[in-house]
Copies of this chain bind each other. A is one copy, B any other.
Amino acid sequence: MKIIESSQNMQSLALELKSLKQKLILVPTMGALHEGHLALVDQAKQLGDKVVLSVFVNPTQFGAGEDFEKYPRPLEKDQELAQARGVDYFFVPKASEVYPAGDQTVVMVTELSRGLCGAFRPGHFRGVATVVTKLFLICQPHAAVFGEKDYQQLQVIKRLAQDLHFPIKIIGVPTLREKDGLALSSRNAYLNTLQRQIALKLPQSLQWAVRAVQQGEQESRVIKEKIIQDLQDPQIKIDYIEVVDSETLEPLPKIKAQARLLAAIRVGETRLIDNLPLKL
């Protein structure tokens, strides 16, 4: 595994691979790698010739008062995990290169960024869209792999790639979960034992909703109200529970084939998100 710290070196390498018709697959991460990220690497290895995993804790997607400073950065461990999983290039760009002096160019995917997490994290998806555009242009991949756990992010990036004409396939990979159902997330590390237990209510609610729909429930309102009830807990604050179209993310009053349930809660200080398709 080659470690690359310079954006320019990464881009030269990427363009060289392109001229050799080698397919480079990008797995963009913020590090603190867990099995969920490594599943993205496995998927990437199926899709192309070489895999680049980027680790960049992107400042512009964190809002004021969010966890940019405390976000975990176990870089050595990340490097070992990536190497063990067969990553070819471990790309750790410097913020001063990703955002050069005088940087002022922003990319926004307007409608898709507005609701859901976008409503609670102003500027977040603008930061995501901007950094992903930069990483795509630096790494020039044939495809890029993202987790479905950040479902709104995945839809934002799919839309961005289509609208801007990136010749890059965007691949979503289903969420990996702990045995008890909690979605893998770097932020789970913030939870204490009690909070970890309480956090389980989130996947349990989503799984309940899938069963309810299987058993004939068609009203989003009914599902949302029941989940809000089930999540009642002094340590839980609900940001949103929403049934949406899986592509446009428009709220759906009635469950239909494309319906997906998206939820965001805070357990103590820790923000957790999760989602599931309501029909298989």
Contact = CB atoms under 8 A, between A and B. Distances in A.
B103 A134 contact: no
Interface in A114-140: 129, 133-134, 137-138, 140
Given A164-B133, A165-B137, A167-B11, A159 B108 contact: no
A135 to B, nearest CB: 9
B134 A100 contact: no
A160 interface: yes
The oligomer's copy count stands at 2
A159 B19 contact: no
A62 interface: no
Given A104-B112, A105-B109, A137 B162 contact: no
A109 B100 contact: no
A110 B104 contact: yes
B167 A15 contact: yes
Contacts of A134: 163-165
A163 B103 contact: yes
Interface in A18-61: 18-21
Contact of A165 (B11, B159, B162, B166): B11
A72 to B, nearest CB: 27
A6 to B, nearest CB: 12
Given A19-B19, A19-B21, A104 B159 contact: yes
Nearest to A135: B165
Interface string A75-116: 000000000000000000000000110111111111110000
Given A102-B248, A104-B109, A104-B110, 18 more contacts: A11-B165, A11-B167, A15-B167, A18-B19, A19-B21, A100-B163, A104-B111, A104-B112, A104-B159, A105-B107, A105-B160, A105-B164, A106-B110, A107-B107, A137-B164, A137-B165, A137-B167, A138-B165
24 contacts: A11-B165, A11-B167, A15-B18, A18-B19, A19-B20, A19-B21, A99-B163, A100-B163, A102-B159, A102-B248, A103-B163, A104-B111, A105-B109, A105-B110, A105-B159, A105-B160, A105-B164, A106-B110, A108-B108, A134-B163, A134-B165, A137-B166, A137-B167, A138-B165
Q: Give the 10 A-B CB pairs with smallest separation, nearest first.
A: A105-B163, A137-B165, A104-B110, A138-B165, A103-B163, A104-B111, A105-B109, A105-B160, A106-B108, A19-B19
